[in-house]
Structure 1
Amino acid sequence: MSKGVRLAAAVTLVVSLVPTQPTAGGLGDRNHLHTELAALASAHPGRVGICVQDPTSPPICVNGEQRFSLQSVMKLVVAAAVMRAVDERRVALSDRVTVRREDLSVNIQPIADIVSERGSFETSLGDLLRRAVVESDSAATDMLISRLGGTKAIQAFLGESGLHGIRIDRTERELQTETDGLRWTPKFVFPERLEQARKEVAEAKRQAAFEAYLTDPRDTASPRGMVGFLHKLAAGQLLSASSTAHLLEVMKKTVTFPDRLRAGVPSGWTIGHKTGTSRTRNGINGVTNDVGILTAPDGRHVAVAAFVAESRTGNEERAAMIAAAARAITAAYE
């Protein structure tokens, strides 16, 4: 045996004795997972869209191109736009902000209780971002949008980032009042005046406004577009490393609707997410959403976007469908 042959044999032996490194984790039987998600969607009495994407493969989608109202999921997109502004040194999370009565919005806004008690509330831009994502505070969100220059600035951020299939057209003030057949007016910062105005809208007009909302392309996303946003965020392709880490940490603290994606995530996994929910009218819920980034025990991220629109079931059934999707996704990871 020649010296060269002996050397080659020795190298082969050494290589064979080295333990094989495990393949990086990801979604396993993709066809089976798609079948499971499609079955969940078809069994639900409503319109369902789900997309999931692991770090290295294309997304798996059911009704991935259809449009769904974002509702409060838009607050996560706004938060990402703020973090981009931080990266570009246009704002800082430490910037001081004063919230006054005229800055309040509608519906869910815990910050309104502080303003009602104190008359005004001084805080930071970073605190507003946390409140928008973690508590789904609409006043905090609308102030962030204003600070960035309006919803056109949010849409510009999406375009500059190469993200498609997501639209942010209105503030929470505008969206929530238009859905009830109203137009935003400053007097609505007083909740009792807003509720009185809602009561004065004719039933036929409110129903027409709700039906128009269900088909309105504004303030919507496709599951594919949303999972693309989440995938880029998790991969560090959207923001700087520090801003990515900060936003992912904020998302992990979300307290709204733990019975959706979070309920389907097994022990050993973690989740950062954002929920969104519309009103239910005449037995039809406009939309129930949850989008997030699941982190497997091996540290790799899986982006998930789940939307349930025009559902004729109750809160628990809609949440259970989303949780079941999370269970199917995590079970498919290997």
Structure 2
Amino acid sequence: MLIERNNPVSMNDRLGSRRGQVHPRRWLAAGAAVLTLAGLGSYAFGTATGGAPAFVLDLEEVGKRPTPPLFQADCSAQPAALQAELSRIAASFEGQVGIAVTKAGCDWTVGARLDQHFPQQSVSKLWVAMSVLDAVDNGRMRLDQQITITPRDLTLFNQPLQWEVLDKGVIARPVQMLMANALSLSDNTANDRLLWTVGGPNHVRAFLKSREIAGIRFGPGERLLQSAAAGLTWSPELAAGRNFEQARARLPKEVREAALAKYVADPMDGATPAGMAQALARLAKGELLSEQSTKLLLDTMGKSRSGPMRLKAGLPPGWKAFHKTGTGQELGSLATGYNDVAVVEAPDGSYYGVAVLIGQTHQPIRARMEMMQSVSAALARWHELRTS
């Protein structure tokens, strides 16, 4: 079986070749003041472990929880056999992995390391998308609303919009397009513009609280999160070209190792497998967003181009996965935050929330993907044996 790295088609590929070169002076002129991580402490921008939150949540602009449509599920099958298989998969994988499966409408969750926090990385784009759709539901935003993007908005790593932004200086894109690119292409700049337009990290945290979504932390945004994990202090010029990667490469190895180890041990964007799977099951039931927004979000996740060989590849014909991947930083052979989470739909209409979160591993990409495929395949076998 051929296993390839993710290679999403960028927005620039669809728009045509870029018409100019990078203009670093123009970009630097547009840069904002330097942001620093100094003095932030244990997660002054997140939910600190063992202490009170270092931020105040404002629920006023978060929509009320919708009244979900009638949802019925057959919960007669006991998940003991599935639990045993998921435990075996986790134990045989060489690395720190959390797994969770929950059936929408049922009160059980099975897996491994269910309550341990793992780095989300781009999985956290789901919470931004939900917060944006909640704002659409309550009239604060529109799907066709144009959002401007300038060089000061550029972030890190995968950001297909960057060359057009640097060429033109400013572009505008509708909310729905930015959301689709954030979820399908994992575009960091598209996601950050949505994040700050909807109200920033505190607003997303307020949304999570309003929906009583447990086990989920939301970090400070892509730039500060990735800088902290790398051992760097963020400044706007790091977003130009490969400046971030070059600055990271100049750091002493021990600095990078310490920063990455600190992040993985207690991630500021951490999520528990149980919390993630249960939230996805509730999304499928229509408990988190309006019926229209739920359908739009699932349709968008179902069209994702990232991670085709992760959870999705383990499902047999007739099954569907509406998923979001996450991929963290690497240091030598150490990979961190390698994830896939999904709403999985069985042919009979049953829904499952599924989360596979790898905190860290030295296993190659193929082994990581095959482990994820074994989780979704185990779920499908268990379901079919009990419904045949």
TM-score by length of 1: 0.90
| 2:343 maps to 1:293 | yes
Please give the alpha-carbon distance, in whole angstroms, between the structure 1 residues aligned to 2:103 and 2:235.
44
* Residue aligning to 2:236: 186
- CA displacement at 1:32 relative to structure 2: 0.7
Deviates further, 67-76 or 193-202: 193-202
C-alpha separation in 1, matches of 2:156 and 2:238: 8
Equivalences, count: 312
Aligned to 2:89: 40
User: 2:140 is matched by which residue type in structure 1?
Assistant: R
Counterpart contact for 2:117–2:266, Cα < 8 Å: no
Instruction: Please report how far the alpha carbon of residue 65 of structure 1 lies from its aligned counterpart in structure 2 after TM superposition.
Output: 0.5
CA distance in 2, matches of 1:106, 1:170: 14
1:132 aligned onto 2:182: yes
CA–CA separation in structure 2 for the residues paired with 1:90 and 1:151: 17
Q: Distance in 1 between matches of 2:165 and 2:181?
A: 14
Q: SS state of the match for residue 290, structure 1?
A: strand
Match of 1:59 in 2: 109
Identify if the C-alpha distance between structure 1 residues 264 and 175 changes in structure 2 by more than 3 Å, giving closer, same or farther. Answer: same
- 1:36-92 deviation per Cα after TM superposition (whole angstroms, max 9, x unaligned): 000000001111211111123222232111110001100111111111111111111
C-alpha separation between the residues in 1 aligned to 2:238 and 2:191? 16
**TM-score where L is the length of structure 2:** 0.77
Listed one character per residue, the Cα deviations across residues 190-229 of structure 1 (whole Å, up to 9, x for unaligned) are 0232233223322221121111111124100001111121
Residue of structure 2 aligned with 1:210, choices 248, 260, 263: 260
- Tell me how far apart the structure 2 counterparts of residues 96 and 317 of structure 1 sit (CA, whole Å): 42
Match of 2:80 in 1: 31
Instruction: Show structure 1 runs of 5+ residues with no match.
Output: 1-22
Q: Which amino acid aligns with 2:285?
A: A
Q: Classify 1:288/1:193 alpha carbon distance in 2 versus 1 (closer, same or farther; 3 Å).
A: closer
Q: Which has the larger radius of gyration?
A: 1
1:229 matches 2:279:
yes
Shift of 1:299: 2.0
Determine which of 185, 204, 213 is the counterpart of 1:154. 204
Secondary structure in structure 1 of the residue aligned to 2:358: strand
Distance (Å, rounded) in 2 between the aligned partners of 1:239 and 1:193: 39
Cα distance between partner residues in 1 of 2:326 and 2:257? 21
Give yes or no for contact 1:26–1:55 (8 Å, CA) kept in 2: no
Contact 1:25–1:298 (CA under 8 A) maintained in structure 2:
no
Per the TM alignment, residue 318 of structure 1 is displaced from its structure 2 partner at its CA by 0.6
2:156 corresponds to? 106
SS at match of 2:296: helix
**What's the offset of the Cα at 1:257?**
1.3
Query: Residues 210 and 24 of structure 1: is their aligned pair in 2 closer, same or farther, counting only changes over 3 Å?
Result: closer
3-state SS of paired residue (1:251): helix
Q: List gaps (5 residues or longer) in structure 2.
A: 1-71
Identify which of 224, 234, 237 aligns with 1:174: 224
Residue in structure 2 matched with residue 20 of structure 1 by the alignment: none
Cα distance in structure 1, aligned partners of 2:244 and 2:277: 35
Matched, 1:84 2:134: yes
| Match for residue 142 of structure 1 among 186, 192, 197 | 192
State the one-letter code of the partner of 2:99. Answer: I
Greater CA deviation, 228-237 or 186-195? 186-195
Q: Deviations over 1:5-43 (max 9, x none)?
A: xxxxxxxxxxxxxxxxxx965684511110000000000
CA spacing shift, 1:62–1:116, aligned 2, 3 Å: same
Distance (Å, rounded) in 2 between the aligned partners of 1:42 and 1:332 = 19
Deviations 1:120-152 (A, max 9, x none): 322101111111101000001111110122111
Q: Does 1:119 align with 2:154?
A: no
Q: Which has the higher helix share?
A: 1
Amino acid at match of 1:61: G
- 1:265 equivalent in structure 2: 315
Whether contact under 8 Å (2:73, 2:104) holds in the other structure is: no
Q: What secondary structure does 1:191 align onto?
A: coil
Question: Is this contact kept in 2: 1:29–1:332, CA < 8 A?
Answer: no
Give how far 1:278 is off. 1.1
Deviation of 1:296 after TM superposition, in Å, equals 1.1
Q: In 1, Cα distance between the equivalents of 2:347 and 2:264?
A: 38
Which letter maps to 1:269? W
* Partner Cα separation in structure 2 for residue 25 and residue 266 of structure 1: 21
SS of residue paired to 1:107 = coil
Identity %: 35
Give RMSD over aligned pairs. Answer: 1.6
SS at match of 2:242: helix
Which amino acid in the other structure matches residue 133 of structure 1? Answer: L
Q: State the shift of 1:310 in Å.
A: 1.7
User: 1:304 is aligned with what amino acid?
Assistant: V
User: What secondary structure does 1:286 align onto?
Assistant: strand
Change (3 A) 1:27 1:112: farther
